[in-house]
Amino acid sequence: MMSTNSEGRSGRFNRRQFLNATSGIAATAMIGIAARPAQGGSAMSDPSRLGVVDLARAIRAKDVSCREVMQACLARIEAENPTYNAIVSLQDPEKLMAAADAADRALSQGRELGALHGIPQAPKDLTATAGIPTTQGSAILRDYVPKTDSVIVERARREGAILIGKTNTPEFGLGSHTYNAVFGTTVNALDPRLSAGGSSGGAAVALARHMLPVADGSDMMGSLRNPAGWNNVVGFRPTQGLVPYAPTGEVFVQQLGYEGPMGRTVADTAYLLSVQAGYDARAPLSLDIDGRQFRDGLSRDVKGMRIGWLGDLGGHLPTEAGVLETCRKALGHFTALGCEVEEARIDHDMDALWQTWLTLRSFTIAGVARPLYENEAARAQMKPEAIWEIEMGLKLSGTDIYAASAARSAFHQAMLAAFQRHDFLVLPTAQIFPFDAKLDWPKEIAGRSMDSYHRWMEVVIPATLAGTPVAAVPAGFGPRGASQPMGLQIIGPRRADLAVLQIAHAYEQASGFPGQLPG
């Protein structure tokens, strides 16, 4: 399941290097890590148990050193990654330890580097990292090392993060199942026989298995949402433009996919968002918002909030048995908070919305990937789904694209009307529970054939096309327990990111789901 390369790409490293770099770490920290994410015990004896909010506080207070944090991170990766394959392109551990020591020296000199001072991070392998390979899960780019960072990586470094490597993703981020020809398959954090989802599958699993305290991801078709739901963590797709998506070759038209945070809790997720958010001139459509508002203020009385349950969109979406039941049960936590939960609908033709989606998505992918497709040697290394998307896009006319944009605009109006009736809209993060990791994609749901490699993810496209903020939070588990994790999408109006995080935080406190595993 993992590459045999023992240093770098596979996410593994030389055992002697590891032992030298982490000398002094407690033996139990190296070899006694439980098979499941830690639920108790002393967090200071194993800092990998801490989320980013608590970890940043402990580092500032000098309750734990950056060296100890890095040791614990590397130990956790050594123990967990051979099974789950979430971390790739892992960097030299001796250099990572040296960076942690430098972060400790800065603190001893009274210099706090920022919100992520000394905190290990592994950006998703779609986002550019200067000096670290950015393969996008493609054999074509297996040796590509960017010279510059993406905006979110640049901001993480500026706030003191130490980049330890990358998190795995499907080829070009296409498909909600994290496997590729470069690094292999990332498997589910709760059951390694199953898919981790995607395309931020590596990020979700690294979080759930405590290899990272917080993680970044990106989302066009549920890539921050489906893996969050399937790995019992939190993902947040922000309002379009809140997190600058740059630098890229085109910054005005592409408005479907962009980046955001993931965490084990809503507070951890919001903390990373505070680093990522805000205007950048290289992304002219980005929003001029002070991200620090997301670091606190998540507590809010949500009594009386109107929650609209979209379910399967009025029977439009085929759904595996147990998914809707699991989510309906989770809705009880909103009721316990004093929210008003009722059935909801979006007054729009959902079949037409799917056609709108196909046009805009394939247009975007063809625009980005056409140069590779036109290179015969590169095209030969592309997976069939990528070629299909590109060829779909190349057949489109300008009139087709304009019509799809107009249809998307009409859907925006329908969403505005829905938010007149409800404060938040809720539906599952996926239409099925995690499937066998050996499959490429599900061909059928509830007896209905899937006509494309991504049709089974249709449940996520309303929030994407609306450009609205959406939090993915754990909903619990289906009839078979840990092998059937599911999540809820909590969708709010545009620019209501803080409100969405606040209702998600209240739900989280009522549910007690963070870190919870059945059995």
Give the catalytic positions in this structure.
124, 199, 223
Query: Edge-to-edge strands of the sheet including 215-219?
Result: 215-219, 258-263, 234-237, 470-477, 485-491, 424-428, 306-309, 340-343
Question: Comparing C-alpha atoms, which of 163, 203, 197 is closest to residue 178?
Answer: 197
Reduced to 3 states (helix: H, G, I; strand: E, B; else coil), residue 389 is helix
* DSSP-assigned states of every residue in 159-223: TT-EE--EE---GGG-SSS-EETTTEE-B-SS-TTBB--SSSHHHHHHHHTTS-SSEEEEESSST
Radius of gyration for the chain, computed over Cα atoms and rounded to the nearest angstrom = 21
Question: Comparing C-alpha atoms, which of 455, 436, 428, 430 is closest to residue 444?
Answer: 455
Structure token pair of residue 126: 């779609």
The H or E element that residue 414 is part of is helix 398-421
Cα 160 to Cα 418: distance, rounded to the nearest angstrom:
41
Looking at the DSSP assignment, which residues form a beta bridge with residue 309? 343, 426
Structure token pair of residue 269: 């997720």
Reduced to 3 states (helix: H, G, I; strand: E, B; else coil), residue 390 is helix
Instruction: Tell me how many degrees the CA angle 298-302-307 measures, rounded to the nearest 5.
Output: 115
Cα 498 to Cα 297: distance, rounded to the nearest angstrom:
9
Cα Dmax for the chain: 65
Cα 241 to Cα 285: distance, rounded to the nearest angstrom:
6
Cα 414 to Cα 453: distance, rounded to the nearest angstrom:
27
Structure token pair of residue 412: 């925006």
* DSSP-assigned states of every residue in 470-500: EEEEEEEE-TTGGG-EEEEEEE--TT-HHHH
Find out whether 324 and 312 touch, Cβ atoms under 8 Å. Answer: yes
